[in-house]
Every structure is written in C-alpha cells, then in structure tokens.
C-alpha cells in the first residue's frame, strides 16, 4: 500500500470507531514497503482504559504480533497528531517514522485539548497542578541499583 492508502486506512478506522461508539482516532503500523502489521482505534470508553488510545492500541498489537518491544523498521500512520502519552509511546517503541492527518489544533477544536499536559511538562514538579512529592527515595533506589548491577538484563 502507498503512504496515502495507509493514511486513508487510519482515517477509515477513526470513522468506523465513531460508528462503534468510540473516539475519532485510528492508527496503522506498517512496514516501509506498505504492509500493514497492526491497527488500533481509540478504546478509552469501551475498555474503561484511559491509556487505550489508537496509537497505543496499535503499538500493543504490533508488539504482540511481532514478539518484540522494538518496532524499529516500522512506521505509524495515525489519523491525528498524537497526544503526549502516545508520542512518548511512539518514541519508546522506536518506530522509524510517523505520519498524521489532523493536527493537535484540530483535535482541540472538537474537545480533545492536550495543551494543558504540554504546559504542565514545562513546569517543575512542585509547580504542577497535580501535587507530587518524593517519598522513600533511598528505598526506591535499591531497585535501580539492582538493575544497574544485573549482568543479563535486556536493555530497552
């Protein structure tokens, strides 16, 4: 499939998901040669999972199908510019390229406004709206020290 056909598939998924009671988001993960590996749609409300965005759903499906957490060599087509969570997941999955249809302003215009998250990320933790504090830091460090010392760990 061409890039345009893959994007049309992501857009088609987003429209079908609306008809099925979900949000207007769809994603496709494909090889660089245009072969679809996995798809995903927004399942936040249907699965009661705030992380079940289309991109995350597609990444989970592709990783399970391919048996790896490293999706380098693959590309993602998403019907909308990803939110901060999905963008982070795309980076962690190591996808080679991202294509998107709608942008974050288009999403904001229909009620999906992620700008507050971007704003919060710019602040020091103590200045964010979500109260947070470090607790049991020294105890928590013991797991990190064990990880650093582990010789047979799988890096990711």
Q: Is 55 a catalytic residue?
A: yes
Whole-structure pTM value:
0.92
Nearest to 79 by CA among 155, 6, 7: 7
pLDDT reported for residue 155? 86
Nearest to 42 by CA among 50, 59, 54: 54
Q: Is the distance from CB of 86 to CB of 76 less than 8 angstroms? A: no
pLDDT reported for residue 35? 98
| Number of other residues whose CB lies within 10 A of the CB of residue 19 | 7
Could you tell me which CATH class the domain 3-149 is placed in?
alpha beta
pLDDT reported for residue 145? 95
pLDDT reported for residue 156? 85
Q: Is 101 exposed, middle or buried (0-12, 13-18, 19+ CB in 10 A)?
A: middle
Sequence ranges of the domains in the chain:
3-149
CA 106, distance to chain mean position in Å, is 18
12, 16, 19, 55: which is the annotated catalytic residue? 55
- HSE-CB for 10 with a 13 A CA cutoff: 33
pLDDT by position in tens, the chain (length 156): 999 999 999 999 999 999 999 999 999 999 999 999 999 999 999 999 999 999 999 999 999 999 999 999 999 999 999 999 999 999 999 999 999 999 999 999 999 999 999 999 999 999 999 999 899 999 999 999 999 999 999 988
Nearest to 23 by CA among 5, 4, 49: 49
């Amino acid at each position: 499939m061409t890039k345009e056909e893959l994007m049309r598939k992501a857009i088609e998924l987003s429209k079908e998901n609306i008809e099925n009671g979900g949000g207007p988001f769809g994603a496709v993960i494909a090889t660089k040669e245009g072969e679809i590996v996995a798809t995903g749609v927004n399942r936040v409300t249907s699965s009661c999972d705030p992380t079940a965005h289309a991109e995350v759903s597609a990444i989970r499906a592709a990783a399970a199908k391919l048996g790896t957490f490293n999706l380098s060599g693959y590309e993602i087509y998403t019907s909308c510019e990803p939110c901060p969570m999905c963008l982070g997941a795309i980076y962690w999955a190591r996808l080679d390229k991202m294509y998107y249809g709608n942008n974050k302003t288009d999403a904001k215009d229909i009620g999906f406004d992620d700008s507050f998250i971007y704003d919060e990320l710019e602040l020091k933790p103590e200045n964010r709206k979500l109260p947070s504090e470090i607790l049991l830091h020294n105890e928590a460090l013991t797991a990190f020290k064990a990880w650093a010392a582990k010789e047979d760990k799988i890096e990711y």
